A and B are shown apart, each in its own frame.
Chain A
Amino acid sequence: NAGVTQTPKFRILKIGQSMTLQCTQDMNHNYMYWYRQDPGMGLKLIYYSVGAGITDKGEVPNGYNVSRSTTEDFPLRLELAAPSQTSVYFCASSPQRYEQYFGPGTRLTVT
């Protein structure tokens, strides 16, 4: 049981490039989330999903897109990367309301 896995662990992007951050969970959780954490800040919700085919915006969705075609996977797409998207990105899943299980994070630098 791997829990929540994220790839890659680290990535450096040039301004204007695109990439997809992968997130997979093997716990059959309905709810999945993407957060970003900037230095000295809490976790800000980017997008979330309450089930396959259903996604919704969080607090800071601009510059990102998501899809949820399966229960297990919830990729986060960055289009036209900007320096403001330099951050650590965490994916999480939850079987219901409340407790969320987090992946190890992806550290992204945009230069």
Chain B
Amino acid sequence: DQQVKQNSPSLSVQEGRISILNCDYTNSMFDYFLWYKKYPAEGPTFLISISSIKDKNEDGRFTVFLNKSAKHLSLHIVPSQPGDSAVYFCAASAVLGNEKLTFGTGTRLTIIP
């Protein structure tokens, strides 16, 4: 049972345009969500997060939106840069068992120069 789903395995975006990565979840107990970025041959690195009490969190070029009623979150990158090419993982944490994260399968973002 995949509780966190990233339905787009890959996405290509022109440099300078907006990249939108999507994530859906099924567990209504999830109350904290994170995005991680992963380059080849490296471990994932934390990018941005959002609590369920908010619907938006912004950090520079990165904004995460949360729609609790739809159980959907998205990561917006504006403007997209070549260095943003990586695999992006969505992760979620539940109120109970909150020391653990559940990860999605990832979306490979390619920024085209």
Chain A positions near chain B (C-beta within 8 angstroms) = 4, 31, 33, 35, 40-45, 48, 50, 58, 90, 92, 94, 97-105
Contacts and interface: CB of A to CB of B under 8 A. Distances in A.
A101 B45 CA distance: 7
B104 A42 contact: yes
B100 A48 contact: yes
Contacts of B46: 99-101
Interface residues of B, number: 23
Given A42-B104, A42-B105, 17 more contacts: A33-B100, A40-B9, A42-B103, A43-B103, A44-B103, A48-B99, A48-B100, A90-B43, A97-B93, A97-B98, A97-B99, A98-B34, A100-B46, A100-B101, A102-B44, A104-B41, A104-B43
Interface centre among B32, B99, B100, B106 (most CB of A within 10 A): B99
B107 to A, nearest CB: 11
A43 B49 contact: no
Contacts, number: 53
A104 B105 CA distance: 18
Contacts of B9: 40
B55 to A, nearest CB: 18
Contacts of B30: none
A105 B41 contact: yes
Given A42-B4, A42-B104, A99-B49, A104 B42 contact: yes
B106 to A, nearest CB: 6
B25 interface: no
Nearest first, the 10 A-B pairs at minimum CB distance are A102-B43, A42-B103, A43-B103, A42-B105, A97-B98, A102-B44, A99-B46, A104-B43, A103-B43, A42-B104
Interface in B60-113: 89, 93, 98-101, 103-106
Interface centre among A4, A31, A94, A100 (most CB of B within 10 A): A100
